[in-house]
Amino acid sequence: MIEPNRPFRWDLVRPDHLGSLLDGVPEPDLWFLDDLVECAAKVLARSENGELYFVGRSGDSVFDLLGGALPDPARLHLLPLSTGLVGGLWGGLAATEVAQLRANLAAHGLTPELLARGAKPVVFVDVVSSGRTFGQLLDILRDWAADERADWPAIRRRLRIVGLTRRTHTSPNTWRWQQHTAWAREVTIRNVSVETALFGYLADHQQKVARSFGRFSWAAGDVRSPARDHRTRRALAEAVALVEAGRSPAVRDQLARVLTREPAIAGPWLRDLVRRLPLPRASPG
């Protein structure tokens, strides 16, 4: 039996165990908060009331904000995974790497058996340029389903993708990533256009709380230990501030306003969520 592995990340919805870790860390500047709230609301609205899996680390701030805001954040999941070193010059995965990756995915409930028999959509969320990470994740799940003789068509019908794209001026000639990938026809894809400065921050410049989880770390034990360097502590302070911002009436009201402008508001599930969103949820003690 292969032991699943994942990078350490503090539970920020219940941050009482942080102790003095943030002592002396400057208060973070949430200059991007308004744009992040808009992005988070649209991700939620386009999720079809599904289970949200934030792939990699680029969407961590959306996860943190919604974790503070939602009356029931249990639908939110972090899926630490980087496939940047898979394929190409790095070659395909060895059998041992495949086995470890599958064990890691199984720990998140993402086995072919569970995916095939579930009812709610499973929604993968990430910043996207070419869609390579999404395509590789689908390949991994498809190959696994074939090995397990699972019902891939049933799994595929359940999967959704929400891509966070850099906002551009729309025109008939606008480049849309999903129109340039053959696999995109297999699953339902929705995009959320993100203001340019926020997109660049999340994708390229933001210091993350957890360690990167690429191919050569999938089985590495050191990723299970928290980093406590100054940059990580500043990232942690920002993440904690986003959770707290999500709990604030102002952010919840802003989320509700954006949600009511989304076409999905016609669905009873989203109307019910908007109705419950302004209700306060006590911070865990």
Separation CA 108–CA 95 (nearest Å): 20
Average pLDDT over residues 130-155: 95
Residue type, 227: A
Q: Which pLDDT band holds residue 216 (cuts at 50, 70, 90)?
A: very high
Average pLDDT over residues 55-75: 96
Asked if the structure places residue 9 within a domain, the reply is no
Asked if the structure places residue 1 within a domain, the reply is no
Split into its structural domains, the chain has a count of 1
**Whole-number pLDDT of residue 86:** 86
Bridge partner residues of 191 (DSSP): 163
Pick from 114, 42, 118, 125: nearest CA to 79? 125
Residue 236 has pLDDT above 80, yes or no: yes
Residue 95 has pLDDT above 80, yes or no: yes
Q: How confident is the prediction for the chain on average, in pLDDT?
A: 93
Q: Which pLDDT band holds residue 181 (cuts at 50, 70, 90)?
A: confident
What range does the domain containing 163 cover? 23-276
Residues 6+ away with beta carbon under 8 Å from 247: 68, 69, 280, 281, 283
Check if the beta carbon of residue 250 is closer than 8 Å to that of residue 277. Answer: no
Higher model confidence: residue 185 or residue 16?
185
Check if the beta carbon of residue 68 is closer than 8 Å to that of residue 277. Answer: no
Here the tokens at position 213 are 């989880």
Whole-structure pTM value = 0.94
Asked if the structure places residue 17 within a domain, the reply is no
**Whole-number pLDDT of residue 280:** 59
